[in-house]
Amino acid sequence: MYVAVKGGERAIENAHRLLAHERRGDRDVPEVTLAQISEQLALGVDRVMTEGSLYDRELAALAIKQARGDMIEAIFLVRAFRATLPRFGATEPVNTGEMQVRRRISSTFKDVPGGQILGPTFDYTHRLLDPQLAEGFVPEQPATADASQAATPRVTDILGRDGLIESSPQADSNTPVGDLTREPLSFPADRDLRLQNLARGDEGFLLALGYSTQRGYGRNHPFAGEIRFGEVEVEFFAEDAGFAVPLGSIELTECQMVNQFKGSTTEAPCFTRGYGLAFGQSERKTMSMALVDRALRARELGEEAAAPAQDEEFVMSHSDNVQSTGFVEHLKLPHYVDFQSELGLLRKLRQEFAEANEAVEMQEAAE
Amino acid sequence: MSSTGPNSKQLQRKAAMTVLAHAAAADIAGRLAAIAVPAHENLREPENGLVMLRGRIGGDGAPFNLGEATVSRAAVRLATGEVGFGYTLGRDARKAQMIALCDAMVQSAELSGEVEAKVIAPLRVAMNAERGRKAAETAATRVDFYTMVRGEG
């Protein structure tokens, strides 16, 4: 129970004024711009867009600035902004097979058609702090090479041609696409809802769960079949225009995890899959998502589901960092009345305890 | 294929919309300033909203909801009757309005040649140049494996 307490208004107002001052920091230091955040802290912006579940670089940059770099607070701000605009509808599903690839690697096939394309990556860096970056560093222009016209088919499509991997579940035209922003979660949840939940889920939470499956809590032998990052075109069926209109392109990262086999007396054994997709360049996120997606398929694949990452109710109920932080941080709000009643109960229990002890002592003394 | 068939017209409109959606609003405005814009009115006032972006399970399976994006839309009618629609990612409603205006002009027999030559074509060149630049930078990071012979072969 919460109780309204008057008298805090002035303190709150001044606290927010102080927050604004602290947010600005030393006023002799130039103010950071949204373009600087978007361009130079790009992966932070990608994370806020992904977990804020809203693709808009400028808004995500503003949220990071307003939140003083607190990513979960920024995600919270972006989620709240969503509620201020009407939704026109849903886009046509994006085709990641036609991505203008900026990075594309496979750890399963060295000579994957289209090639191993490293793109801008932290991989193979030495993870040594670079003092040059402290100020005024001007990087070299990127190297260029003749772009190949060769297609970059998905690795899973290549495996699928020989039947070596399960095919993706196809749409059932009678079932609408689940949307957890419109209907409350219920269990068991279908894979479309699970993927939506994981896509906006906390990266750290999913990373830990994905890691737990590798350490043996729901082991399923993953290989990074393919990770790709780049631009995909988005189309939206506009009823007024009467056809699917192009909206422009967005940056996405996709991870296809290839996992150990399934099979039965009627079905030849084949690899199984886990899938990850996120806004921007979000490699760790999509890899973790794909591991957890695969773990959550335990029931469907007839596996024993004993590990946390395989428990959809546990995973889906705790993956959302806005919900989590809301409930954890609400403990800061006044609970004075709640606490008074607990305090009263505790005093009563202690008194009973003391009286009982006194009685025992008197009895012992009498004997 | 006839260049006047309804499908080819729709393809032409989509191709123009793709270029415009990729262009910066300031660049579209700059190109539009170079032509005589016909009299027109807003059929739908430019507005901001959201679309739910969809992916597919496994990349090629059933759709799922990935997350939303901001989007702007507008509709414009020329005094000669053509109705154009403008849609674009982002919150720049003025950009959506300019796309709608261009879409209406693309449908006009008198104006489509000029809007294609003076607005769409140069923006398409810029879009393709940008794509080419990115593709060339990306291509330089392609791994060229070579095999080292080990043992007795």
The answer to whether B60 contacts A249, with C-beta atoms less than 8 Å apart, is no
Task: Encode pLDDT of A246-294 as tens digits.
Answer: 999 999 999 999 998 888 888 889 999 999 999 999 999 999 999 999 9
The answer to whether A82 contacts B73, with C-beta atoms less than 8 Å apart, is no
CA separation (Å) from A341 to A4, A300, A336, A337, B58? 17, 48, 9, 6, 53
Question: B2 pLDDT band (50/70/90 cuts)?
Answer: very low
CA separation (Å) from A102 to A60, A120, A156, A246, A347? 22, 8, 19, 21, 66
Which has more pLDDT, B145 or B136? B136
Q: Which of A89, A154, A249 sits opposite B22 (nearest CB)?
A: A249
A92 and B CB contact within 8 Å? yes
Share of chain A above pLDDT 90, in %: 80
A282 and B CB contact within 8 Å? no
Query: The pTM is what?
Result: 0.93
**Residues B48, B74: Cα–Cα separation, whole Å:** 9
The token pair that represents B85 in the structure block: 């629609």
The answer to whether B142 contacts A118, with C-beta atoms less than 8 Å apart, is yes
**Residues B99, B24: Cα–Cα separation, whole Å:** 11
Q: State the nearest Cα–Cα gap between B67 and chain A, in angstroms.
A: 5
Q: Which of B17, B53, B65 sits opposite A246 (nearest CB)?
A: B17
B11 and A CB contact within 8 Å? no
What is the pLDDT averaged over residues A81-97?
Answer: 96
Q: Which of B53, B75, B142 sits opposite A116 (nearest CB)?
A: B142
Question: B1 pLDDT band (50/70/90 cuts)?
Answer: very low
Closest chain A residue to B23, measured at CA: A248
Residues of B in contact with A86 (CB under 8 A): 49-50
Q: State the nearest Cα–Cα gap between B103 and chain A, in angstroms.
A: 10
| Angle between the N-to-C axes of helices B25-32 and B121-139, in degrees from 0 to 180, rounded to the nearest 10 | 150
Across all residues in chain B, what is the average pLDDT?
Answer: 93
Angle (nearest 5°) at CA A90 between A86 and A93: 155
Question: How high is the pLDDT of residue A261?
Answer: 83
| Beta-carbon contacts of residue A184 (< 8 Å; ≥ 6 apart) | none
Q: State the nearest Cα–Cα gap between A11 and chain B, in angstroms.
A: 36
B127 and A CB contact within 8 Å? no
**Residues A72, A66: Cα–Cα separation, whole Å:** 12
B65 and A CB contact within 8 Å? yes
B129 and A CB contact within 8 Å? no
A67 and B CB contact within 8 Å? no
Question: A150 pLDDT band (50/70/90 cuts)?
Answer: confident
A118 and B CB contact within 8 Å? yes
- pLDDT higher than threshold 70 for residue B147: no
A304 and B CB contact within 8 Å? no
**Residues A301, B135: Cα–Cα separation, whole Å:** 40
Across all residues in chain A, what is the average pLDDT?
Answer: 94
ipTM for this prediction: 0.92
Residues B16, B86 contacting (CB under 8 angstroms):
no
Q: Which of B64, B67, B142 sits opposite A192 (nearest CB)?
A: B64
